[in-house]
Amino acid sequence: MSHNAESTAFRSALDVIRAVEPRVADAISAELADQRESLKLIASENYASPATLLAMGNWFSDKYAEGTVGRRFYAGCQNVDTVEALAAEHAKELFGAAHAYVQPHSGIDANLVAFWAILADRVESPALKKAQKRQVNDLTEADWFALRRELGNQRMLGMSLDAGGHLTHGFRPNISGKMFDQRSYGTDPATGLIDYDRVAEAAREFTPLILVAGYSAYPRKVNFRIMREIADSVGATFMVDMAHFAGLVAGKVFTGDFDPVPHAHIVTTTTHKSLRGPRGGMVLCGPELADQVDRGCPMVLGGPLPHVMAAKAVALAEARRPDFADYARRIVDNAQALADGLLRRGATLVTGGTDNHLVLIDVSGYGLTGRQAEQALLDSGIVTNRNAVPQDPNGAWYTSGIRIGTPALTTRGLGAAEMDATAELIHTVLTQTSAGTGPDGAPSKAKYVLDPATAESVGKQAADLLTPFPLYPEVTLA
Q: Over 80: is that where the pLDDT of 139 sits? A: no
Phi and psi at residue 206, in whole multiples of 5°? -95, -25
pLDDT tens, position by position, 197-214: 999 999 999 999 999 999
Phi and psi at residue 63, in whole multiples of 5°? -100, 135
273: left (phi > 0), else alpha (psi -120 to 50), else beta? left
Distance (Å, whole) CA 97 – CA 117 = 17
Q: pTM (2 decimals)?
A: 0.92
Domain shared by 186 and 257, yes or no: yes
Mean pLDDT of 32-38: 92
List, by residue number, the catalytic residues: 64, 66, 241, 270, 273, 279
Note whether 337 and 367 are within 8 A (CB): no
pLDDT the model gives residue 73: 87
Domain shared by 439 and 311, yes or no: no
Dihedral angle at the C-alpha atoms of 339, 344, 350, 353, nearest 10 degrees? 40
Distance (Å, whole) CA 106 – CA 108 = 5
Confidence bin at 121 (pLDDT 50/70/90)? confident
pLDDT the model gives residue 372: 97
Domain shared by 386 and 397, yes or no: yes
% of the chain beyond a pLDDT of 70: 97
Domain shared by 287 and 411, yes or no: no
Q: Among 304, 319, 334, where does a domain finish?
A: 319
Q: Among 319, 341, 364, where does a domain finish?
A: 319
Contacts of 379 (CB under 8 A, 6+ apart): 450, 452, 455, 459
Confidence bin at 403 (pLDDT 50/70/90)? very high
Domain shared by 79 and 167, yes or no: yes
Chain mean pLDDT for the chain: 92
- Within a domain: 477: no
Mean pLDDT of 323-328: 97
Domain shared by 167 and 101, yes or no: yes
- Within a domain: 49: no
Is residue 349 classed as helix, strand or coil in its secondary structure?
Answer: strand
Note whether 263 and 228 are within 8 A (CB): yes
Domain residues for the domain of 78 are 59-319
- Within a domain: 472: no
- Within a domain: 346: yes
- Within a domain: 27: no
- Within a domain: 163: yes
The CATH number of the domain holding residue 361 is 3.90.1150.10
- The count of structural domains within the chain is 2
Distance (Å, whole) CA 111 – CA 104 = 9
Q: Over 80: is that where the pLDDT of 443 sits? A: yes
Domain shared by 272 and 221, yes or no: yes
Domain shared by 312 and 342, yes or no: no
pLDDT tens, position by position, 254-294: 999 999 999 999 999 999 999 999 999 999 999 999 999 99
Q: Among 319, 343, 371, where does a domain finish?
A: 319
Domain shared by 203 and 326, yes or no: no
- Within a domain: 7: no
Separation in Å, CA 431 to CA 40, 233, 450: 20, 48, 10
pLDDT the model gives residue 1: 46
Q: How many CA atoms lie within 13 A of 345 on its CB side?
A: 22
Note whether 224 and 260 are within 8 A (CB): yes
Domain shared by 328 and 241, yes or no: no
Confidence bin at 162 (pLDDT 50/70/90)? confident
- Within a domain: 230: yes
pLDDT the model gives residue 135: 67
pLDDT the model gives residue 179: 80
The CATH number of the domain holding residue 177 is 3.40.640.10
Show the DSSP H helices in 207-321 as ranges: 224-234, 246-250, 287-293, 296-299, 306-319
Note whether 266 and 212 are within 8 A (CB): no
Domain shared by 153 and 180, yes or no: yes
Mean pLDDT of 164-179: 76
Note whether 170 and 212 are within 8 A (CB): yes
Q: Over 90: is that where the pLDDT of 151 sits? A: no
Confidence bin at 132 (pLDDT 50/70/90)? low
Domain shared by 435 and 331, yes or no: yes
